[in-house]
Homo-oligomer: A and B are copies of this chain.
Amino acid sequence: MARERGFLAAIAVACTFAAGCAVPVRSVDPLPSWNEGAAMQSIVAFVSEVTLEGGARYVPPAERIAVFDNDGTLWSEQPVYFQLMFALERIQALAPRHPEWQTQEPFASLLKGNLEGALAGGEPAIAQIIMATHAGMTTEEFAQIVKDWLATSRHPVTKRPYTGMVYQPMLELLAYLRASGFKTFIVSGGGIEFMRPWTERVYGIPPEQVVGSSIRTKYEVRDGQPVLVRLPQLDFIDDKAGKPVGINQHIGRRPILAVGNSDGDFQMLEWTTAGTGPRLGLIVHHDDAAREFAYDRDSHVGHLERGLDEAGTRGWVVVSMKNDWRAIYPSSTTLHATH
């Protein structure tokens, strides 16, 4: 009952600002995949108060900036980041054009199916894999390669398309925030141009609201046609202390809501919640081995330790995937409708 009243108030208030209010507002639950617990209540309370015109904690729509990490926050990231899966499969696809890879590491190990051997070279090996698969083409060619890969590849464990492994509760949260006058951004350690070809379709987040890591590009005119060529040079790493830097560079104002899942998001939550006025920080905790994956302190992917230790004192809300979420992935029907 309390829940329903909260939602109705939130929607009625949101309607003051959002477009389309000439249409009667339907009093539907905007977060149907969230269980009624502390996490959901803190979200609804926050949205209600910042949208309450005349209220003490009202925030004008222009300042309602919400930032979301991607890997592990909006979609899964196990057994390895999906962008690394993309890179590994691209190495396979490109191998016929690169006979030298048969004897050259890290490619030789990779092509023998020995991922561990390939990654034994550490960060330089990963950088070689990334540059071999992410640079050397135009920005438009790369976007097409990403789209083609997503259309055909399947996750090794779930056998779903990767874009079918986005979190249904997060799709609802994104839509709820936008209906409440928020502008939603992705701020991810992943590649900015790896995400942009599909975030609008899958999350409703347009390319200009995606912040991520990047390599350099160069403007060239080829046979009279201008192109942007992707160079094998790192430009920016949007992770850890880089996230507030990336937020400042791309958004130019401090968010009031940040959502992450690993210590790579720590500074983003710190920067967001240290601002004056109402602020909300959320940490998605992967504690559901049955429906997704369970990992935190001991995981290389999505390592979460400081965030768990300090969430309490900092007032950040830890979202338990196991207890707070009724569903993890969209049902195939929803998936179809969403995409």
Which residues in A have some Cβ–Cβ distance to B below 8 Å?
19-20, 22, 62, 65, 139, 183, 192-193, 196, 200, 206-210, 214, 217-219, 221, 225-226, 228, 241-242, 244-245, 248-253, 267, 270-271, 274
Note all chain B residues with C-beta closer than 8 A to A19.
Answer: 19-20
Please tell me which one of the listed residues B20, B65, B208, B249 contacts residue A252 in the complex, with CB atoms under 8 A apart: B208
- Inter-chain contact A252/B207, CB cutoff 8 Å: yes
Note all chain B residues with C-beta closer than 8 A to A270.
Answer: 221, 226
Please tell me which one of the listed residues B214, B245, B271 contacts residue A249 in the complex, with CB atoms under 8 A apart: B214
Note all chain B residues with C-beta closer than 8 A to A221.
Answer: 270
Q: Measured between C-beta atoms, what is the minimum distance from A182 to chain B in Å?
A: 13
Q: Measured between C-beta atoms, what is the minimum distance from A279 to chain B in Å?
A: 12
Note all chain B residues with C-beta closer than 8 A to A253.
Answer: 196, 207-208
Please tell me which one of the listed residues B207, B209, B228, B245 contacts residue A245 in the complex, with CB atoms under 8 A apart: B228
Closest to A206 in B: B62
Closest to A230 in B: B248
- Inter-chain contact A271/B196, CB cutoff 8 Å: no
Q: How far is the CA of A192 from the CA of B253 in the complex (A)?
A: 12
Note all chain B residues with C-beta closer than 8 A to A226.
Answer: 244, 267, 270-271, 274
- Inter-chain contact B245/A196, CB cutoff 8 Å: no
Closest to A243 in B: B219
Note all chain B residues with C-beta closer than 8 A to A225.
Answer: 274
A-B contact pairs, 20 of them (CB 8 A): A22-B22, A65-B208, A183-B208, A192-B249, A192-B252, A196-B253, A207-B252, A208-B209, A208-B250, A208-B251, A210-B252, A217-B248, A217-B249, A219-B242, A219-B245, A219-B267, A225-B274, A226-B271, A228-B244, A228-B248
Note all chain B residues with C-beta closer than 8 A to A242.
Answer: 219
Note all chain B residues with C-beta closer than 8 A to A207.
Answer: 251-253
Please tell me which one of the listed residues B20, B65, B244, B252 contacts residue A219 in the complex, with CB atoms under 8 A apart: B244
Q: For the A-B complex with A192-B252, A210-B252, A226-B270 known, give 10 more contacts whose Cβ atoms are closer than 8 Å.
A: A62-B200, A62-B206, A196-B253, A207-B251, A207-B253, A208-B250, A217-B249, A218-B241, A219-B271, A225-B274
Q: How far is the CA of A310 from the CA of B136 in the complex (A)?
A: 30
